[in-house]
Amino acid sequence: MANFTQTNMSLDHYDWDAAPSDDPRVTGEPDSTLFNRQQGYEVLYMLNTVLSASAPITALHKGEEMIRDELPSDMREQLDVKKWLDQRL
């Protein structure tokens, strides 16, 4: 698992409002919760989950662009997004 932060992100269109820590949808693992590609914390979390600890920052930027430009609009659940990214990164 990678450990990139908000400052490592290359795109600037994200909303950075975090869900409250007691939000029941926050489980700590990708699940059936809907993925919001406009929410910076969700994109960062997903890419950190998919990328290895030794991944270069260019892999993070590539993942951001893939989510923005290529992720199918009908792909909504976190688990599905993770599987899609695992196949492409």
Tens-digit pLDDT profile for residues 34-72: 999 999 999 999 999 999 999 999 999 999 999 999 999
* Domain range enclosing 69: 6-88
pTM, rounded to two decimals: 0.89
The answer to whether the CB of 43 falls within 8 A of the CB of 4 is: no
- Tally of structural domains, the chain: 1
pLDDT classification of 29: cutoffs 50, 70, 90 = confident
| 1 lies in some domain | no
8 Å CB contact between 28 and 20: no
> How far apart (Å, rounded) are the C-alpha atoms in residues 33 and 64?
19
**pLDDT on residue 40:** 95
| CB within 8 Å of 31: residues ≥ 6 apart | 77, 78, 79
Residue among 89, 88, 81 at smallest CA distance from 39: 81
